[in-house]
Structure 1
Amino acid sequence: MKKKQISDYRIASDADSIRHSFLDNLYFVQARFPQVASQNDFYLALAWTVRDRLLSNWIETASTYYRQASRSVCYLSAEYLTGPHLHNAVLSLGIEPQIRHAMAGLGLDLDDITAQEPEPGLGNGGLGRLAACYLDSLATLQIPAIGYGIRYEFGIFEQVIRHGRQVELADMWLRSGNPWEIPRPEINFEVGFGGTTEHYTDESGRYRVRWQPQRQVKGVAYDTPIPGYRVPTVNLLRLWNAQACESFNLGAFNVGDYERAVEEKIASETISKVLYPNDEPMQGKRLRLEQEYFFCACTIQDILRLLLHRMAHWICCRRNSLFSSMTPIRQSRWSS
């Protein structure tokens, strides 16, 4: 029997390969072995296993879009009610029987594992579900598309009953990690808030206005694959996480002003902290406006970045094509 390469196990859909990938992720990603692993360890290991197969399709999809210079739909929404990713990915890939067989061979039940995944706190109502359905449909129809939104740290809330009364608690859906997202720290943009405008005349004597923001917040991209149903196309959901441009003031810390040392970090991260903050007070209305402006500003900058990258690629291809067509002329000139 020919020994399979490691890469084969990461993308193959048969039960043996899935079982091998699952144990590989349990050992080398979770640093656990089955006898001491928790249900959450099993969930994360299986999520990495299924994600590997999604990413294989994602890379092929992205490279196809790149080669064909495909125009993409850019969909912006303040929320995405995607639902749990694991079961949806398994159904989309059409590998549920193989995964059930692989997990049963290890004494595990797929339904018990999928029940461990928390509901992503990225959406709440009909608007969020509609946005998620749009992305699913675009991928299923194999239409190039990117969804843009905010990576909320906390969902809208969780309801519990204490002493006979309903209590609302923070929805900490990221407490155990999110294996479906891919951080892209190199894709980040600065967004300005507040400030003043300055009027001046440029070198040509033209009247100009320059904006000086009061503060700036950095938006960092986090990518999530969105698979189409029973097709190899996997599109992209890109969410923006708000971070401080300078997250720690060492000077303030050294003089004992510890609160001011992290003041900018707290103020910046508030933008992507909670899905739909209470907007009854004026501060809540302002925060919602900041959220909308923040993710729209990041998205527009990212669209321009992609456009400039595509133009640079097109120019490079045209130049190479021109040079290749000139090669026979140069050779004949030198030969003569």
Structure 2
Amino acid sequence: MSELSPDDRSRRVNKIKRAFAYNLFCRQGATPRTASLNDYYLAVSYALRDRMQHLFVNSAEKLLEKNPKIVCYLSAEFLTGPQLRNNLVNLGLYDDFAQAAAETGLDLREIINHEEEPGLGSGGLGRLAACYLDSLSTLEIPAVGYGIRYEYGMFNQRIENGWQKEFSDRWLHQGNPWEIKKPVMACEVGLGGRTEVYHTEAGTRRIRWRPARLITGVPYDTPILGYKVNTVNCLRLWSTESHTSFDFAEFNTGDYYSAVADKLKAETITKVLYPSDEQIEGKRLRLEQQFFLVSCSLQDMIRLHMSRHESLGNFHEQFQAQLNDTHPALAVPELMRLLVDVHFYDWDEAWEITRRTLCYTNHTLLPEAMERWQLDLFGSLLPRHLEIIFELNRRFLDEVRIKYPGDDERLRRMSVIDETGPRYVRMVNLACMGAKAINGVAALHTDLLRRHTLADWDQMYPGKIRNVTNGVTPRRWIAVSNPRLTKLITEAIGESWLTNLDELRQLEKLADDAAFQEAWRKVKEANKRDFCELISCCDRICVDPAVMFDVQVKRIHEYKRQHLNILHIITLYSRIKANPNLSVTPRFFIFGGKAAPGYFMAKRIIKLI
């Protein structure tokens, strides 16, 4: 971006100040005398969103004009992080907004710190999804992220007497200025019921699904900015509403609960990320969530496609859908259902479109972490989809028999239906069967997939399993998170590293530069001092910023090895107790992470820590 003259910059800052005042009065109904910090946060955020909006609309218009292929990223989580500072950095407006805020008597940092963390993810899965959207926008690749608008997110955590306690995460209660509701794009989703056979006038045999329940999925769009480019992609989150939200007759008879029962039941689906699945009700709710996500998203993709084309025959040429783990694996039977039952494609053509549209990212090697659903539960909720899975599996196993005659053990392993005990639908096998490509998220992980976890699939379809190494966007994870370090690096090598991390190799020539080393040390020291102040404020613990910080931040889980870390701490402590004169580097250990509410062993690990 070219540098503005002082006069132009002054005019731009004045426009921003007027936007603050307009949004405070017209949108918040507040004045400087009555405004709360949240009013100012919303006013500043709306002022920025208004400046993003023309880019957002222009990007959407280009999709209709240029007809490009669109990447659709389906994920149960999007750990986007707060939006205000990230959007200011990506638009290159941070300094202008900071000056406008200061001239208005506000502290932009205080306003930024007020923003709630969006409760849309819990760990690496959501972080990866959010980083992909950022990078796709920065690379100016048309993309839509599809997820669920969890009303209460995961949960807020407190530690009481060493134990984790869960409380509702009301991240939306003070308003979300970044989302735009799009009720005209709502989708209808069925659950339960039965299927029936019928024949067309031409005598063709067809199957119709008669759901017992219908719910409505309403999209909320959040703009995802690229870094200093004109492309803005979309994060489209689905929220449930009842198909018939209010029974007037029930209400008038005095049965007030029954009057809104359907509404309450429908809205439960998008209340919480990962509801506890210890009980059958929790398992059913999780399955409802997963189907709701994929059904709304695929219907939306088909709607967009049909606005540009006359048929779905080239759907796979216009859309590439990436399944982030197995939560969206129901996209395989749902896309088949939409093509065969709704749009009347024959089975083989529908399967060809499906297999060329979907790709699958695997995130785990552990058999116990691989998702599967009891057949009874699955069939009661998605009867038509179970029929489709049975037929897909029958045809697929015939392929396996032809390629590996007499290998019954291979058939058992590769079947989508696990019949070793109570019957289950294996979601990993379903995703592998329906995907054009499968990827691991690190070279070692992908190698282990090929050699062990998914070895049968690698042998059946050589080259289908590929590696795509995980990464993080340097915009949010360095520029936004660590502005001091960003400034130091940019002053040394320029700012192109923010879109090309290979440029960081230029720092190698400064490895022995004493002045640069000292500046680097001061950045780290200042950041540690800020963190010590935060710890002192939150936990009333005084920490010397000069000590070594030893940090482990991730979901609390047995296989994440927090228990090994705490055993290491106990070992170091025991050595000091045994030898008080032992020379040790002062070290401060920091753990961050949540345990799933029903995961007792993970909670015990927190208690041990």
TM-score, length basis structure 2: 0.48
The 8 Å contact of residues 153 and 172 in structure 1, kept in 2 or not, is answered as yes
Residue 121 of structure 1: aligned partner: 119
Distance 1:90 1:193 in 2: 42
Give the match's secondary structure for 2:272.
coil
SS at match of 2:189: strand
Contact 1:13–1:98 (CA under 8 A) maintained in structure 2: no
| 1:36-75 CA distance string (max 9 Å, x none) | 2110000000000010111121122222232212221111
RMSD over equivalenced CA pairs, Å: 1.6
Residue aligning to 1:94: 92
Q: Residue 256 of structure 1 is aligned with which of 235, 254, 257?
A: 254
State the aligned residue count: 301
1:247 paired with 2:245, answer yes
Q: Is 1:24 paired with 2:16?
A: no
- Percent sequence identity is 51
The amino acid that maps onto 1:62 is A
What residue is the counterpart of 1:305 in the other structure? 303
* Unaligned residue ranges in structure 1 (runs of 5+): 1-11, 313-336
For residue 191 of structure 1, give the secondary structure of its aligned residue in structure 2.
Answer: strand
Matched AA of 1:48: Y
Which piece of structure 1 moves more, 138-147 or 69-78? 69-78
Q: Give the partner amino acid of 2:212.
A: Q
Is residue 273 from structure 1 mapped to residue 267 from structure 2 by the alignment?
Answer: no
How far apart, CA to CA, are the structure 1 residues paired with 2:184 and 2:208?
Answer: 27
Q: Tell me, in whole angstroms, the C-alpha distance in 2 between the residues paired with 1:239 and 1:247.
A: 20
Shift of 1:166: 4.1
What residue number does 1:213 align with?
Answer: 211
Q: Offset at 1:224?
A: 0.3
Letter paired with 1:234: V
Residue identity in the other structure for 2:269: I
User: Offset at 1:256?
Assistant: 1.5
Offset from partner CA, 1:297-327 (integer Å, 9 cap, x none): 0111101100111126xxxxxxxxxxxxxxx
Q: Is the radius of gyration larger for structure 1 or structure 2?
A: 2
Partners of 1:164 and 1:306 in 2: CA distance: 51
Deviations 1:165-216 (A, max 9, x none): 6421000100011110000010111111110112233333333322110101
- 1:283 maps to a residue whose letter is E
Deviation at 1:87, TM superposition (A): 0.7
| Contact persistence 1:13–1:95 (CA under 8 A) | no
Alignment deviations for residues 256-289 of structure 1 (CA, whole Å, 9 cap, x no partner): 1111111110111111110111111111111111
* Residues 243-262 of structure 1, C-alpha deviations (whole Å, 9 max, x = no match): 10000111111111111111
**Secondary structure in 1 aligned to 2:130?**
helix
Q: Is the 8 A contact 1:227 1:233 kept in 2?
A: yes
Distance 1:165 1:64 in 2: 52
1:171 to 169, 172, 180: 169
Corresponding residue SS for 2:182: strand
Pair 1:132 & 2:125 matched: no
Measured after TM superposition, the shift of residue 161 of structure 1 is 4.9
3-state SS of 1:311 partner: coil
Partner residue, 1:236: 234
User: Partner residue of 2:483?
Assistant: none
Matches of 1:265 and 1:66, distance apart in 2: 35
2:316 alignment partner in structure 1: none
Q: Give distance in 1, aligned partners of 2:262 and 2:130.
A: 33
**Compared CA separation, residues 13 and 210, structure 1 to 2 (3 A):** farther
CA contact (8 A) 1:183 1:221 kept: yes
Distance 2:11 2:119 in 1: 30
Residue aligning to 2:59: 61
Match of 2:101, SS state, is helix
| Structure 1 residues 87 and 156, CA gap change in structure 2 (3 angstroms) | same
Alpha-carbon distance between aligned partners in 1 of 2:292 and 2:47, rounded to the nearest angstrom: 34
What letter is aligned with 1:88? Answer: N
State the structure with bigger RCO (CA 8 A, min sep 6), 1 or 2: 1
Give CA deviations for 1:6-51 in whole Å, capped at 9, x if unaligned: xxxxxx9821111111111111111111122110000000000010
In 2: Cα distance, 1:132 partner to 1:13 partner? 34
Residues in 2 aligned to 1:95 and 1:77: alpha-carbon distance in whole angstroms: 30
Residue 3 of structure 1 corresponds to which residue in structure 2? none
CA distance in 2, matches of 1:31, 1:55: 22
- The structure 1 segments of at least 4 consecutive aligned residues displaced by more than 6 Å after TM superposition are none
For the residue of structure 2 that corresponds to 1:32, the secondary structure is coil
Corresponding residue number in structure 1 for 2:602: none
Aligned to 1:75: 73
Greater helix share, structure number:
2
SS of 2:171's partner is coil
Q: Distance in 1 between matches of 2:11 and 2:229?
A: 14
Q: 1:110 to 1:67 in 2, by over 3 A?
A: same
Task: Name which of 192, 197, 200 aligns with 1:199.
Answer: 197
* TM superposition score normalised by structure 1: 0.86
Is 1:14 the counterpart of 2:12? The answer is yes
